[in-house]
Amino acid sequence: MALSTHIMPKPSDERLKPYTGPNKSCVFCFKAQGTDHLSEDVDELLHGKFYKLEKIITHYFCLLLSSGIAQNGDDNEGILGFLPKDITKELTRSRYLRCTYCKQTGATIECCARRCKKIFHMPCGTKRGSIHHYFSNFQSFCPDHRPPPVLKPKGIQRKEKGGRNTTKCVMCLEEVVMIRNKDVIQAPCCGHCSWFHRLCVQVDYYFIFLENRLSILM
């Protein structure tokens, strides 16, 4: 079990800008942007923007959630505080770590559940329903140890012809089926307006945090 102690960067004109050039292949997950049937936009939402520093190209979330790396720099140093020597050290460590799911080496994200020894690449985890906290200690959980819901489903429900209970996601206003799963969550504080697509919460939380306008607990 590993525990990250990273800090989300504050907005600054001096920070490294996202990489928009060619040959976008992450050194942590080996996943080129847009592959595996994901559009560039969806890939960015799930795995973060690409950053390039020297010969290192990485998804930001693959770097941020890696279990063995220390954030030793300021926001305007390295990749948002992650220094090249520390990134290289984590990549070296990953050569001996095999992903639980794809069986390839290079895995750096460890499940934080007690006694769990699962380790995986971020795309391998998200594809199977892993959960990642983008606050506090930046914990990750494999699909078998996802934190359980704390509330019983409640709220105004509308049944479709097929019998599904549906409402609208408060953030994107698109339909959401009112059943908790890897893609849907219910907040403990909002009553009948509490259903969200998990990806909407993840992405909106991330950008709100960066803009330093609001602090929430997901």
Q: Work out the average pLDDT over 169-179.
A: 79
* pLDDT, position 208: 42
Residue 21 has which token pair?
Answer: 């050039």
Same domain (yes/no): 124, 198: no
Beta-strand runs (E) in the chain: 50-53, 56-59, 109-110, 119-120, 131-132, 140-141, 158-159, 165-168, 175-177, 184-186, 195-197
- What's 120's domain CATH number? 3.30.40.10
Mean pLDDT (the chain) is 77
Query: Using CA atoms, how far apart are residues 69 and 141, in angstroms rounded to an integer?
Result: 17
Q: Work out the average pLDDT over 118-144.
A: 89
pLDDT at 133 over 70: yes
pLDDT at 158 over 60: no
The residue range of the domain holding 173 is 158-211
Residue 10 has which token pair?
Answer: 């504050």
Same domain (yes/no): 47, 69: yes
Query: Using CA atoms, how far apart are residues 44 and 37, in angstroms rounded to an integer?
Result: 13
Q: Is residue 114 part of a domain?
A: yes
Is residue 85 within 8 A of residue 50, CB to CB? The reply is no
Q: Work out the average pLDDT over 159-172.
A: 67
Residue 23 has which token pair?
Answer: 């040959």
When mean pLDDT is compared across 15-19, 77-81, 150-154, the lowest value belongs to: 150-154
**Cα 27–Cα 33–Cα 37 angle in degrees, nearest 5:** 125
Tens-digit pLDDT profile for residues 98-108: 999 999 999 99
Q: Work out the average pLDDT over 43-58.
A: 88
Tens-digit pLDDT profile for residues 51-95: 999 889 999 999 999 999 988 999 889 999 999 999 999 999 999
Q: Is residue 2 part of a domain?
A: no
